[in-house]
A and B are shown apart, each in its own frame.
Chain A
Amino acid sequence: MKNSQIAIIIAIAVLIGFTLVNLGNSATYSSFADASLQQGETTTVIGYLNLEEPMSFDPKTVTLTFAAKDKKGNASTVVYNQPKPQDFERSEEITMTGYATDSAFVATDILMKCPSKYNEQNEVDSDKIYK
């Protein structure tokens, strides 16, 4: 067999290997219920901010505590040790990566989806018209 063919075969093997490693490493979007069954394991939960429960941000310890509900309706307190993201209250959906503990879900990373983001609207405000 030719050297270059051997190299190509090795390359394909490496690529398949990576694909398998990827699939093994990748998580699925989880729920708070699943996360609390595997405390300490990193998972990603997509959910919504529950504004009926109190939210607090303590700048001295840089701790944001809020209540969230995942897509299946499980509720959890979430602790996030980063500055409160701008317009956090306006978020439509939050993607939280972190792990569950006894008392709360500790988020290490938060991605927000805001209704305003890239959503250019030019609706004519009908209130302004008829008055």
Chain B
Amino acid sequence: MNYIGEHLWAAELGRGLTAFSFVFALLSTFAYYSKGEGWKTVGRLAFRIHAITLFGLIGTLFFIMANHYFEFDYVWKHTSLDLPPRYLFSAFWEGQEGSFLLWMFWNAILGWILTYTAKNFEGPVVGVFAAVQAFLVSMILGVWIGDYQLGYSPFNLVRELPENLGLPWTQFEDYLTRFPNFMDGSGLNPLLQNYWMTIHPPTLFLGFASTLIPFSYAIAGLLRKDYTSWISSALKWSVFSVGILGVGILMGGAWAYEALSFGGFWAWDPVENTSLVPWLTMAAGTHLLLIQRNKGGVMPSVLFLLIITFLLVLYSTFLTRSGILGDSSVHAFVDLGLSGQLLIYLLFFTLGSLGLFLARYRSLPKKEQEDRMDSREFWMFIGALVLLISGLQITLSTSYPVFNKLFGPEGLIHLYDENKVLNDPITHYNAIQVPFAIIITLLIGAGQFLSYRQTSTKLFFQRQITTLVVTTILTALSAWALEMWNPMYITLMWTSYYAVIANLEFWIRWGKGRWNFAGASVAHVGFGLLIAGALVSNANKDVISQNRTFIHEDFPANENLLLSLGDTVEMGKYWATWSGQNEEGYYINYELQFFEEIDGKLEAAFNLSPRIQLNERMGNVAEPSTRHTLTKDIYTHVTYADLRTEEERGTDEWKNEFELELNIGDTHFLYGKYQLELDTLVVDAPQADSELQYAVLGAGLTITTLEDSVYKVMPVYAVQGNQAQHVDAEIKELGLKFSFDRINYDTNKPVIIASEHTEAEVPFILVKAEVFPWINLLWLGSILMAVGTGIAIAQRVKRERK
């Protein structure tokens, strides 16, 4: 059948380019690992063709997305006609297939750069890149081998999906115009329609891609048994990797803080954890590379860390994309059925690289003499070790779902009967990671006063007397000002201040404030500030929306405050009013006005508008609104709001109509609150010529409340001929109405209808508001870290040129 309106050429082109890209990546790997200059030229050419076809396929996917060819599954799922063009990039990498492409894109760029810069290491280094690319392209190949689908192509047509094959609608050749479903796609998830989604994934994936360079150098070194000539190149790139990966992770934190209601910038979610771990090990590896270059003797550890960093990136990929985190993470990817392929990818590189490492282990250059305990390199080594343990601890705790799959009730090796789970991950990670942070910041500070090879104790303390004094005074002042007395927190505050001040002093006094010393110092100052900011803003976080009225000792303190429209309530040192709401696209904005009490008068301080995103696909989501000041942030979000429309809410004045049939003397318990008794029945029914002229009946009702207040009313029912009239009785205080409806002639009992008054409900919302003190230290620290690593790279490149 020839379907009308499909752009099959794009499908053919896209799939063709994917296939070529895959084949050339394989060819490049093969050629680069064959001996001889000729093969090397072939390898390089193949890698570049691979890269060009990859860019072509990325371009094709962009083209069909920009033109909304909704017959393509990926286009239908991730774009819609009303998607603003600026979100096209976000839509591109929203799905697994697109994010794989983003990753491959960076690998191709970095690999291409290396074909110029790696010089005589080009063969094995770019060869590793080509092998990784071959695996990655295979994830989007979409080729059926028997019943097994190798990869999942972004160029699949909707009608070709296995679940749609043979369905009636695929029998229409004009299905694209016949069925409304194909007029518009489901679009980019509104939750992801913000600028963070445009900048965070590319940065993070560049970070992931960059971990491959030091890994490739390590593999190349092992293959050639050359453990010296690649150190500077690897060092330069590992600094780059630490910087970019760090920025990528922190952007994720900033996104969570600014636009999502996670209640902070870090939630120890598995997806966050698995991106942090490679950063920790890469930072450790970078420092060991420095020791190796300056003094040597740590080659085995260097190789191990560079290898494991990339393996942890692969493990992270496996965790977030195989669907294994389903129960424990709020933002893992959908399972595309690639878990088998991902596992092979992970195992291939793990066994290959660690196997090579072990095979060469005996021949690796070892230390000639032992490091002294008072040397800088010894403590840098310890620092690297602590970073590694910290990373492995996070990995272990994040891997519970994997352990459950392996050893759980349905596991391969049955070890326990019930799946294990971390009850309170945030407390768990904080408790273990705070001591690690203390050691790391302490070493970052102390390391500056140690010399390579050996340092005299006297000199070590003489050098840092100013730092120690200033740090202690600052810590005391901060603890006093913030009323923070937890010994663990005070220790961490001291060590992080120490890291900041020690590095400042080192740079100014020993580095004479010179530009070429600045990189490391600025990055270390940034790290210290980041930890201090994270500590203070979290430990001293103040929930100012405490609802103290209703706390019961059994219940956790309530952190949400009820705001009625127009009411002003106390919130910490502020007063807040909910003044109204307005709709804006997907959003309902809630306007909050904050006041401060100055001389007994309320003065307007600032306005915030937290909002709720109406999101049919993900469920409605609250987005915070934050007031930023230098020393603190006031962070608010709406935790409950009535989103029903007026129609759904109903506009009837009376509700809960209830019909009663009563004899005189009967009682009834009404609405669970009132005792109702029919005590009299007044009848006025004059007769003339034995004809009933009219009848007026009154039902004497007595209502007793739970507090024993008594009300007496008499609803009236009048009939004349076919006409009936009712005079209802109301009790305004109770909001009750009684109507004498009729006499049931079968039972001869009067029928009374009771109803309750609909209270004029004042709209309300629940708001949670928190104050994060000194969170700006965290952002300042992040920026300094990025700047510091930038300077360090610039300096290395400059030194190389000389």
Contacts and interface: CB of A to CB of B under 8 A. Distances in A.
Contacts of B181: 122, 124-125, 128
Given A120-B334, A122-B186, A129 B179 contact: yes
B713 interface: no
B421 A27 contact: yes
Contacts of B327: 95, 113
Contacts of B373: 3
B432 A18 contact: yes
A109 B766 CA distance: 18
Contacts of A57: 640
A114 to B, nearest CB: 6
Given A4-B371, A15-B389, A15-B392, A83 B639 contact: yes
B428 A25 contact: yes
A126 B388 contact: no
A80 B620 CA distance: 19
A16 B650 CA distance: 62
Interface in B171-189: 178-181, 186
Contact of A61 (B76, B158, B424, B550): B550
Contacts of A2: 367, 370
Nearest to B392: A15
Nearest to B428: A25
B618 interface: yes
A124 B381 contact: no
Nearest to A27: B423
B102 to A, nearest CB: 19
B189 to A, nearest CB: 9
Given A61-B550, A62-B550, A83-B639, A18 B393 contact: yes
A120 B555 contact: no
A44 B428 CA distance: 15
A101 B554 CA distance: 9
A62 B617 CA distance: 26
A87 B619 contact: yes
Contacts of B652: none
Interface in A102-126: 106, 108, 111, 113-114, 116-120, 122, 124-126
A4 B168 CA distance: 70
B328 to A, nearest CB: 9
Nearest to B547: A62
Given A116-B618, A119-B334, A122-B73, A4 B547 contact: no
Nearest to B621: A86
A128 B179 contact: yes
Nearest to A130: B168
A39 to B, nearest CB: 11
Given A26-B421, A81-B558, A59 B381 contact: no
Contacts of A128: 179-181
Given A14-B389, A59-B640, A122 B77 contact: yes
Interface string A76-97: 0001011110110010000101
Given A7-B381, A60-B550, A120-B186, A28 B421 contact: yes
Nearest to B161: A122
A29 B424 contact: no
B421 A62 contact: no
Nearest to B77: A120
A82 B639 contact: yes
B396 interface: yes
A8 interface: yes
Contact of B619 (A11, A18, A84, A116): A116
A19 B158 contact: no
Interface residues of A, number: 52
Contacts of A59: 562, 640, 764, 766
B106 interface: no
Contacts of A19: 396
B263 to A, nearest CB: 12
Contacts of A8: 385
Interface in B85-129: none
B334 A124 contact: no
A32 B387 CA distance: 40
B419 A28 contact: yes
Nearest to B559: A82
B550 to A, nearest CB: 4
B168 to A, nearest CB: 7
B424 A97 contact: yes
Nearest to B170: A124
A90 B427 CA distance: 30
B554 A83 contact: no
Contacts of A90: 619
Max chain A Cβ within 10 angstroms of own Cβ: one of B180, B420, B619: B619
Contacts of B162: none
A50 interface: no
A22 B397 contact: yes
Given A86-B620, A116-B617, A122-B77, A4 B180 contact: no
Interface string B601-642: 000000000001000111111100000000000000001100
Nearest to B427: A25
A28 B418 contact: yes
B260 to A, nearest CB: 14
A27 B419 CA distance: 9
A129 B169 contact: yes
Given A59-B764, A86-B621, A126-B169, A106 B555 contact: yes
Contacts of A62: 547, 550, 558, 560, 562, 640, 766
B215 interface: no
A109 to B, nearest CB: 8
A42 interface: yes
A60 B764 CA distance: 10
Contact of B169 (A83, A114, A119, A124): A124
Contact of A26 (B333, B422, B617): B422
Contacts of B167: 124
Contact of A11 (B73, B385, B419, B764): B385
A87 B381 contact: no
Contact of B640 (A4, A43, A84, A114): A84
Interface in A1-58: 2-4, 7-8, 11, 14-15, 18-19, 22-23, 25-29, 42-44, 57
5 contacts: A25-B428, A44-B421, A57-B640, A124-B169, A126-B169
Given A86-B620, A101-B554, 15 more contacts: A4-B367, A11-B385, A27-B422, A29-B421, A62-B558, A79-B555, A81-B555, A82-B560, A83-B639, A86-B621, A95-B327, A108-B556, A124-B164, A126-B169, A129-B169
Interface of A: 2-4, 7-8, 11, 14-15, 18-19, 22-23, 25-29, 42-44, 57, 59-62, 79, 81-84, 86-87, 90, 95, 97, 101, 106, 108, 111, 113-114, 116-120, 122, 124-126, 128-129
